[in-house]
Structure 1
Amino acid sequence: MDALAGLLDGPRARGAFLLRMVMEPPWAVRIEDRAPICLMSVRRGTVRVTPPGGGVPVRLGPGGIAVVRGPDPYTVGDTDGTAPHALIGPGGVCTTLHGRPLAEDMALSVRTWGNAADGGTAVLVGTYLMAGEISRRLLDALPPLLTVSADARTGPLLELLDAEIARDEPAQRVVLDRLLDLLLIAVLRAWFARPGGDAPAWYRALGDPVVGTALRLLQDDPAHPWTVASLAARAGVSRAGLARRFTELVGEPPMSYLTAWRLAVAADLLRESDATVEAVARKVGYSTPFAFSSAFKRVRGVSPQEFRGGPPGDGRADARDALGGKPGDARDAPGREPGDARAADGNGPCDPRHLPEPQRSLP
């Protein structure tokens, strides 16, 4: 499993927050949900997205797609630069800037939210509420805001998501989650493949016939007792040749990459499963729990038991460094607070399926 697949594996798009936002100017919404990643696609009209940190706003017209990397706040609104009227907090809770709930005012129909049912602007929004350690390697490679235009791959997916998002049928949540997965993968592939694209080194290296083979072996079977020699034999090159080329393309030696990958997989297993530390150690290639615990604490700064029992942020800074992030970079995306569980199941305060008829304008 590579890091692009890892973004959508483990604690990811199960119960993602999806809606169609329909607006008529003037309008603007400030997003402070601290979600690790959000995808938006403009179906009609034009919107202005101000990226996290207050960077240069980006305009998106029909077919425009934006991916915003959390957890920092950002703003989406009309093209006139209207000041935000509403705020979306953790779990998709919608309020005015002063904290008054807006769920009843803004609900239009099933998974459709806005200030006017016939508004001139319509945007599909999909938010991933949680992220694991494997996906952190990918998230850390993304800018705060990236944009692409719909193409032959993303266009049909957008049409299907637009048609499905307003349906309320059995297993609809699963259908929407998988469509969002497919769309996000297609968007990120397009962004990494663009001319002059700034894809991370490990992503570019996957296209190399030698290093790509070694990377896939390490990612697909981290529990195997890999050595540089065994990887080189599978890739059909000399040991020295693989070590040199791998380090040149990926930025670290094969065994260093393997250690970081094993510990990232282990961290996700500790968070999302009831497996014992001994079982997790075996799954990621450590012969004894002691060896695994020593390696984990050396990188994370906490033991596996402490990591599992502590808040989601524990040990994340060291994990980011091990997976190629930047020390001190504010990219950690904590999971939802316990009180936000209803939103992940589609029953949170902003879920429009259970709300009465709205008013037609923002307060």
Structure 2
Amino acid sequence: MDVVSDAIAAVRLGRASSTRVEAGGRWATRFAPYAGAGFHVVLKGGCRLVPEDGGPPLPLGTGDVVLLPHGAGHVLAHAGGEAVVPEEAVPFERWRETGAPGAGEVQMLCGKYRLDRSRMHPLMAELPQVVHLPHKVGGHPALRAAVDLLGQELGERQPGACVAVPSLLDLLLVYMIRAWLAEDTKGVWPAVLGDPVAAAALRALHSNPAAGWTNDRLAAGIGVSRATLARRFTGLVGRPPMGYLTWWRLTLAATLLRDTSDPLAAVARRVGYGTPYALSHAFSREFGTTPGRYREAAPAG
């Protein structure tokens, strides 16, 4: 596994959902805050996204993609210049059922991902409230291909759509995060993954977290001195390599406890702890609860 894949897998719950909707004329629909991530893709026409936190309206055009990774409440509205009051917008569930006047002028994909925020990787936590990926000719071709395929599947409902659509939604999330990493020039994690030393160290740790890693072994594996590894990794990631590894092992253990019925001994072996007791002690120290209690309280996938 790589860092981005692991960061997504640690928070994903169940299947994503999406709906193809049409609108026209004057319209406004409200999306309540959500304990997950929302997204919109404009397939035709234009509209505005109005954040509920009072931020400026964001114009959206054909081909634009928007990810709301922290589930922020917002309004989608017609592209006119009039101000939109979020409280006056029709809740999306009701608006979708009743339809909008002049349907067809604007066509969109609206969807959401279920996320478990209790053990979020810092890469995911760093994503801004709104990630806007405007349509650009030649920009992010993989993302564009996924959008086109998803629009076709939702519009035509061909045989096998029940398998194709969830897979395309998974791809869409990966491609949106990749696009953000490629375009964000000031973020911490784009810098981390762009640094050859830190990125190589993370790839090694994530590819085999249960290995008997030491700073010397990790530095030798990526071909740098221990001092260089410590300086570059700690300076960018914010914790030393072995501190990050401990945190990731326990986060991975939490994911396995949530998503599998594996006994604690098996979980301990998979994340690099020799005994269930050693894992339980470290888990309780890090998260303030025992593995058993965490498993009982974890949201279902």
Q: Which runs of 5+ in 2 are unaligned?
A: none
Cα gap change, 1:7 to 1:37, in 2 (>3 Å): farther
Displacement, 1:169? Answer: 4.3
Displacement, 1:221? Answer: 1.1
Displacement, 1:309? Answer: 0.7
> Residues 290-346 of structure 1, C-alpha deviation per residue, up to 9 Å, x if partnerless?
11111111111111111111254xxxxxxxxxxxxxxxxxxxxxx79xxxxxxxxxx
The corresponding residue for 1:168 is 157
Q: Is the 8 A contact 1:39 1:67 kept in 2?
A: yes
What is the percentage of aligned positions where both structures have the same residue? Answer: 35
- RCO higher in structure (CA 8 A, sep ≥6): 1
1:181-260 mapped onto 2 (5 Å cutoff): 181-194=170-183, 197-201=185-189, 203-260=190-247
Displacement, 1:57? Answer: 1.8
Letter in 2 for 1:221: N
* Matches of 1:52 and 1:221, distance apart in 2: 42
Letter in 1 for 2:30: R
The corresponding residue for 1:353 is none
Q: Does 1:68 align with 2:72?
A: no
The corresponding residue for 2:42 is 42
* Matches of 1:58 and 1:268, distance apart in 2: 35
* Matches of 2:272 and 2:14, distance apart in 1: 28
Displacement, 1:204? Answer: 2.4
Q: Does 1:57 align with 2:42?
A: no
Q: Is the 8 A contact 1:3 1:137 kept in 2?
A: no
The corresponding residue for 2:131 is 146
* Matches of 2:14 and 2:142, distance apart in 1: 23
Q: Is the 8 A contact 1:3 1:134 kept in 2?
A: no
Q: Does 1:121 align with 2:106?
A: yes
* Matches of 2:245 and 2:134, distance apart in 1: 35
State the SS of the aligned residue for 1:275: coil
The corresponding residue for 1:289 is 276
Q: Does 1:25 align with 2:25?
A: yes
Letter in 2 for 1:174: V
Q: Is the 8 A contact 2:11 2:120 kept in 1?
A: no
Cα gap change, 1:23 to 1:35, in 2 (>3 Å): farther
* Matches of 2:162 and 2:121, distance apart in 1: 25
**Comparing both structures, which one devotes a greater share of its residues to helix?**
2
Letter in 2 for 1:27: W
- Please give the TM-score of this superposition, normalised by the length of structure 1: 0.73
State the SS of the aligned residue for 1:242: helix
Displacement, 1:155? Answer: 2.2
The corresponding residue for 1:86 is 90
> Residues 125-150 of structure 1, C-alpha deviation per residue, up to 9 Å, x if partnerless?
23112346665433311111110123
Q: Which runs of 5+ in 1 are unaligned?
A: 89-93, 96-101, 107-113, 313-334, 337-363
Letter in 2 for 1:115: A
1:312-331 mapped onto 2 (5 Å cutoff): 312=299
State the SS of the aligned residue for 1:153: helix
The corresponding residue for 1:348 is none
